[in-house]
Amino acid sequence: MKRWIAYWNIMLKDMRTYYLKPPNISWGLIFPVAWTGMFFVKSGRGLESILSLLPGVMAISILFGTTSMLSVTVTFEKKNRSFERLLLAPIPLELLMLAKTSGAILFGTINAFVPVFIGLFLADLSQVQWLTVIPAVVMIAIASTFLGLFIAVSVSEVFEAQTFSNFFRFPMIFLCGLFFPVVSLPVFLKPISFMLPLTYGVDILHGAVQGDNMLPLWVDFLLITLYCVVLFFISLRNIYRKWII
Amino acid sequence: MEKKTLTDPIGDGKPFISVERLTKTFGKVVAVDDIAFDVHQGELFGFLGPNGAGKTTTINMLIGLARPDSGTIHIAGSECTRNPKAAQQLIGVVPDESNLYPELSGFDNLCFCASLYGILKSERQHRASELIKTFGLEEAASRKFGTYSKGMKRKLTIAAGIIHRPPILFLDEPTTGIDVASARQIRQLIDDLHHAGTTIFLTTHYIEEAERLCERIAFIVNGKIIAIDSVHNLLQPIQDKKVMIISVSNSAKELHQKLAVKFPHLTFQALSDTQIRVESDQAISVGSLLRFIEDHGAEVTEARRIRPSLEEVFVRLTGIELNIMKKEKEKDKGRNSL
Ligand SMILES: Nc1ncnc2c1ncn2[C@@H]1O[C@H](COP(=O)(O)OP(=O)(O)OP(=O)(O)O)[C@@H](O)[C@H]1O
Ligand SMILES: [Mg+2]
């Protein structure tokens, strides 16, 4: 019980102090809208292209809404030493890191539905399989958050965390099948694509929205879950090794 | 190193904090070098040493923020070397630098810290208001912590350290870098906590502070504990010494040599051109001394007895001049006089 009070309040504090700030909220709105607009214009087709763009835009919204958050909630707090307070709290490190990430996961999940909400007015979303979309969105949010966590615990400066996360994020837009199918990528880029967790999350979304997934959905789910677990435990190990000196 | 614990002031036999053969190195620097000590329940234990002596490193190992290279730590019966989480519910920590959240208000910071220990909301708020009042921070309670002055920050950091009423409190240089009045207030609070039964581990480089507050003190220099005992016992060897400082109008340096010839049973030392220190195992007859000085053409402006202090003990044991402690100079790594 006591642990959950701590868990809840850590998450709540991060939400209040970092996530629910006007810049983050507007970023969460503007970014997906801008990307949708860009690809919409580029596709040159009518409103029917919305459905094929939706999975990519949702993934981008999640990716940008989560990864950079960890550079504040973790790297910044490590830098100003307030993170030490959390390390001193009588809760297991696993639970602490879940508390530090669940705010970002929630924020990313909500972000994903901003383009969906816009899409509702522009296209017919009746064929979308929501029961697959929702878990896929949550898994993408978890995977991108843990990627952000991995970056945040690997560096010591906030700017490094941000630079490093862009180093991952921008190539992922093009490599993970967000807007261009992975199968159409040059042969030498394909292996990289299959090494990135987002590829599997986006594949599920494509399947759920338009039924054009390249791998069976259970394989996608399995692989992205595996990525989450591995990223989380590598991050924990890095904290043990680097922060408890 | 052998434990030098002499007595158990509480009498229940079991130490609350027990440290054996603790060592920590950073690269080539041996920050903490094979130290051992016990702290008993309800005791106020002081860790006194110059900059870089290894005080913070020791605290960090005790609270679980640093991993010892070797040695064992037991806190309230739990083995904490391998499982640093074991005792964390019982301990409160006040670090050397304030580490609260700059963007939260003072009040919210306290409530947040309380929540980390699983305290329910109504109690958190009650306790936070209570501490804000105790520390006289009512005016600033709703202001962001980032806007606080240094002294206010320190006070709130102490409040955050005790918000969950920990039976064991670690204080890392609680009065360094703040003004005299705030420092006095903080010392009073530490004293109150001690009398309320909290076991306190305090580091400081102020000798007077250690002497005034602590029951037992460990002197730590270059990562090694040089002496560890009750203040009373540490003072014992110099307890019977009689010491006087005589201030003269001029030429103390010449005078002290003449004095040494005339009064061979006393020890004289010229502290400056106007101050002479006199030390003896027996009572000093002041009258004859003053007459002698005045007969040699100097005027005595002041003569006062001084109480034997821990400062002297520290200087005798460590060979470290007091100005090094006071001026917070970086320690001289090569020097290891004991
Ligand atoms: N993270 C670290 N990396 C390398 N060396 C360190 C580290 N932390 C401490 N040291 C070294 O260990 C020694 C002891 O440092 P420590 O901070 O424990 O001293 P201290 O007694 O707390 O000093 P102060 O009074 O200045 O706070 C110093 O020589 C310091 O340079
Ligand atoms: Mg220190």
Which residue puts its alpha carbon closest to atom 26 of ligand 1? Answer: B51
Q: Are B168 and B199 in contact (CB under 8 A)?
A: yes
B214, B236, B258: which is the final residue of a domain? B236
B202, B236, B270: which is the final residue of a domain? B236
* Residue A126 in tokens: 């009746």
Taking Cα atoms as reference points, which of B249, B234, B226, B253 lies closest to residue B303?
Answer: B249
B78-86, Cβ contacts within 8 angstroms, sequence gap of 24 or more: B84/A244, B85/A90, B85/A92
B125 belongs to a structural domain: yes
- Please name the residues in contact with B151: beta carbons below 8 A apart, sequence gap of 6 or more: B178, B179, B182
User: How much is the pTM?
Assistant: 0.84
For B276, other C-beta atoms within 10 Å of its C-beta total 25
pLDDT, position B304: 86
Cα angle B199-B205-B209, degrees, rounded to a multiple of 5? 60
B112 belongs to a structural domain: yes
User: In this predicted model, which residue has the larger pLDDT, A106 or B240?
Assistant: A106
Which residues on A lie below 8 Å from B110 (Cβ)?
none
What ipTM score was computed for the predicted complex, to two decimals? 0.89
Q: Which residues of B283-296 are buried (b: 16+ CB within 10 A; e: fewer)?
A: ebeeeebeeebeee
B316 belongs to a structural domain: no
For B199, other C-beta atoms within 10 Å of its C-beta total 26
B315 belongs to a structural domain: no
Q: Are B17 and B167 in contact (CB under 8 A)?
A: no
Q: Where are the domains of chain A?
A: 2-244
Asked if residue B250 and residue B215 are part of one domain, the reply reads no
B184, B210, B236: which is the final residue of a domain? B236
Q: Are A44 and A137 in contact (CB under 8 A)?
A: no
**Chain A residue whose CA is closest to B101:** A82
- Under the banding of pLDDT at 50, 70 and 90, the label for residue B25 is very high
Which residues on A lie below 8 Å from B91 (Cβ)?
88
Here the CATH number for the domain that contains residue B295 is 3.30.70.1560
Q: What does the pLDDT average to over B29-58?
A: 94
Asked if residue B114 and residue B259 are part of one domain, the reply reads no
User: Does pLDDT of B21 surpass 90?
Assistant: yes
Residues with CB under 6 A from ligand 1: A 245; B 26, 29, 31, 49, 51-57, 96, 205
Asked if residue B75 and residue B189 are part of one domain, the reply reads yes
Looking at the structure of chain B, the number of domains it has is 2
B267 belongs to a structural domain: yes
Residue with tokens 């001193």: A88
Q: Are B77 and B37 in contact (CB under 8 A)?
A: no
Q: Is A53 on the interface with B (CB under 8 A)?
A: no
Question: Cα separation of A234 and B335, whole Å?
Answer: 43
pLDDT, position B321: 55
Asked if residue B195 and residue B88 are part of one domain, the reply reads yes
B317 belongs to a structural domain: no
Residue with tokens 């945040």: A152
- B230 to chain A, minimum CA–CA distance in Å? 30
* Residue B233 in tokens: 């016992």
CA-CA-CA-CA torsion sign (A171, A177, A178, A180): positive
Asked if residue B219 and residue B103 are part of one domain, the reply reads yes
Asked if residue B246 and residue B144 are part of one domain, the reply reads no
Q: Is B83 on the interface with A (CB under 8 A)?
A: no
Type and span of the H or E element at A192: helix A190-195
Question: Cα separation of B219 and B226, whole Å?
Answer: 5
Asked if residue B188 and residue B247 are part of one domain, the reply reads no
pLDDT, position B7: 41
* pLDDT above 90 coverage of chain B, percent: 54
Taking Cα atoms as reference points, which of B242, B215, B241 lies closest to residue B229?
Answer: B215
Closest residue to A81, CB basis, from B84, B91, B99: B99
Of A105-109, B166-170, B242-246, B334-338, the range with the lowest mean pLDDT is B334-338
Asked if residue B271 and residue B146 are part of one domain, the reply reads no
The whole domain housing B285 covers 240-307
Residues 168-187 of B with CB under 8 A from A: none
Interface test with B, best of A73, A82, A239 (most B CBs within 10 A): A82
B190 belongs to a structural domain: yes
- Work out whether strand B242-248 and strand B224-230 pair parallel, antiparallel, or are unpaired: unpaired
Residue B275 CA from chain centroid, whole number: 29
User: Does pLDDT of B139 surpass 90?
Assistant: yes
Asked if residue B229 and residue B105 are part of one domain, the reply reads yes
Q: What does the pLDDT average to over A225-238?
A: 93
pLDDT, position A127: 86
Asked if residue B130 and residue B45 are part of one domain, the reply reads yes
B10 belongs to a structural domain: no
